[in-house]
Structure 1
Amino acid sequence: MNRRNFIRTSAAFVGATVLATPAMASVLGTKSRYRISLAEWSFHKAIFAGEMSNLDFPRVTRELGMEGVEYVNQFFKDKAKDEKYLAELKKITKNEGVSNVLIMCDGEGMVGHPEKSEREKTVENHKKWIDAAAFLGCHAIRVNAGSRGTFEEQQKLAADGLHMLCEYGDKKKINVIVENHGGLSSNGDWLSGVMKMVDHKRVGTLPDFGNFTLDWNTGESYDRYKGMEQLMPYAKGVSAKSNVFNAEGDEANMDYYRLMKIVDDAGYKGFVGVEFEGSELSERDGVIATKKLLEKVFATL
């Protein structure tokens, strides 16, 4: 090997070695396989105060450097069937170059209501949001799996309601995903069991890093890391909840490195959604801090 080829070969080897180091890969701009979206609830204070509208949200998302938007239905509650409004929203997201990811649906009834007629009514109430999600180009709606009864009874009831909703979602090619969102839904055993019972390709979970409180009155909570491991096999979305940051920029009460390792080990390939809910930082600064933390963590995977 002559001197020129030796230098060229050695440089290539060193370059490959450097890029194999996560921290250096980040410095050199290697793109993570994860894309970051923004949950609209991160700006709920601004929206409730009239400082931002649902139509502003995609623009703000792009300004902050994120690629996808996760809507909250209560911020355009009366617009689910308003084609003119939805067309305007879709146009804005296209112009901003962001993807419509999902719609988080609240206030539309109890999916696992003990009365079958009420479960059916809840399914009907959610259909308009499935239609809106399909129109906007989202892949899913997020629903709550509320119910009443024993552990096992609530599993069966929630599974029945979700299966009915998935049958309609299948017609529109929209997934129906459940977030750990308090009560039994924050119990990994319970929700993973519901997923098995539904047994439909459209059903899935939206594991949230922070929502593992079983009882807000007593403070009882489920082990978040165990819960994430149980819910990730069914995940069609991931919510990176954040509240408080330490001096190093890490979430003070959650190990993001451990949580994202669980996500990564599950082979997940979708969006990771920033959802800031803290009060020590402004909503905008909290969102920026969460995005920076995720990018730092991504570089180690």
Structure 2
Amino acid sequence: MDRKTFLSRMGYTAIGGAALFSTPFGLTGCTPGTQDAEMFFDISLAQWSLNNSFFNGSLDPINFARIARQQFDIGAVEYVNRFYTDHVTDQGYLNELRNIANGEGVESVLIMCDNEGALGDPDPAARQQAAENHYKWLDMASFLGCHSIRVNAASSGSYEEQMQRAADGLRRLSEHAAGMNLGVIVENHGGLSSNAEWLVGVIEMVDMENCGTLPDFGNFRISQDETYDNYRGTEELMPYAKGVSAKSYAFDDNGNEANLDYMRLMQIVKDAGYTGYVGIEYEGDELSESDGIMATKELLMRVGKELADG
């Protein structure tokens, strides 16, 4: 099935790559759907879904909230720190970023933070420095009205050593964040962090209310030779979740994610009592970024409605 046929079956008009950027924020030909009020969760858009367009300059990161609203009719966003490294302390830029979000009625949910050092570094001084490297992102998150920053629990050493080191670094950062009424949430994001049992142990060792998880449906590859079960992992991480990442890669003829059982995953999310944001994070290459986002949104809305009716 080609892309045009797939999108036709999904109930919206295909937008080619050129058309997406032919007018400001890709408004041409787009008739986005709206979220059903009966769903138990809200939908947000992870900026990484458009990472190629931001990296190649086709899109300007300052317009992310506007793109989310006008292109996809999504009213909440999850920023990626890599697109704001040069502006994180630029108050004028941050003012404009916040004003655009407010003007579009878009909520800033969280900032995904990478490349700031290993919070589980074997060296205590390096762990402390990694924690402090995140402070500027907490400041930005507070200014934008986010509830959390998403961090990584990277470490080295034995299973137990990595747990202790990651918990120590996370506690240092979480203590600082607590004074700002912000959360520090950890994604299963490779290495032992993709072992849900290990990550749960880390969060329990930190033992702070504002330190939790961001379960990602797809990131359960521990190493090249080891993968944790996606469904078991999601179920184990959900009791500590302060966010959920709806990873998607490809879709079948019926609009279902070809690699992940979204009905099963979202049932796990619902059973955990979670009612917050579920962030769209499309990482496929069969559809364009915009079409993959819309396909994921349509799937989430359909599954959400079915679970509400069930």
Out of 136, 143, 150, the position equivalent to 2:151 is 143
Q: Which residue of 2 aligns with 1:211?
A: 219
Unaligned runs of 5+ in 1: 1-28
Q: Which residue of 2 aligns with 1:255?
A: 261
Q: Which residue of 2 aligns with 1:35?
A: 42
Which amino acid is 2:255 matched to?
G
Q: Which residue of 1 aligns with 2:186?
A: 178
Which amino acid is 2:98 matched to?
K
Q: CA deviation at 1:30?
A: 4.7
SS at match of 2:62: coil
Separation in 2, partners of 1:293, 1:68: 17
Out of 233, 236, 246, the position equivalent to 1:240 is 246
Out of 271, 274, 277, the position equivalent to 1:268 is 274
Q: Which residue of 2 aligns with 1:86?
A: 94
Give 4+ residue runs of structure 1 displaced > 4 Å after superposition.
none
Identity %: 55
Q: CA deviation at 1:125?
A: 0.3
Q: Which residue of 2 aligns with 1:58?
A: 65
1:97 and 2:105 matched: yes
Q: CA deviation at 1:154?
A: 0.3
Separation in 1, partners of 2:196, 2:41: 24
Q: How does 1:119-138 map to 2 (within 5 A)?
A: 119-138=127-146
Q: CA deviation at 1:250?
A: 0.2
Mark the structure with the bigger radius of gyration.
1
Judging changes above 3 Å, is the alpha-carbon distance between structure 1 residues 134 and 30 closer, same or farther for their aligned structure 2 residues? Answer: closer
Which amino acid is 1:250 matched to?
N
Q: Which residue of 1 aligns with 2:4?
A: none
SS at match of 1:290: helix
Q: Which residue of 2 aligns with 1:152?
A: 160
Q: CA deviation at 1:33?
A: 2.9
Which amino acid is 2:60 matched to?
S
Separation in 2, partners of 1:297, 1:225: 16
Separation in 2, partners of 1:242, 1:291: 10
Q: How does 1:60-75 map to 2 (within 5 A)?
A: 60-63=67-70, 64-75=72-83
Q: CA deviation at 1:60?
A: 1.1
Q: CA deviation at 1:123?
A: 0.8
Structure of greater relative contact order (alpha carbons < 8 Å, 6+ residues apart): 2
1:48 and 2:55 matched: yes
Cα shift readout 1:208-248 (whole Å, capped 9, x = no counterpart): 00000111x33x21000000011000000000000010000
Separation in 1, partners of 2:37, 2:195: 37
1:164 and 2:172 matched: yes
Q: How does 1:214-225 map to 2 (within 5 A)?
A: 214-215=222-223, 217-218=224-225, 220-225=226-231
Unaligned runs of 5+ in 2: 1-35
RMSD: 1.3
Whether contact under 8 Å (2:81, 2:113) holds in the other structure is: yes
Q: TM-score, normalised by structure 2?
A: 0.86
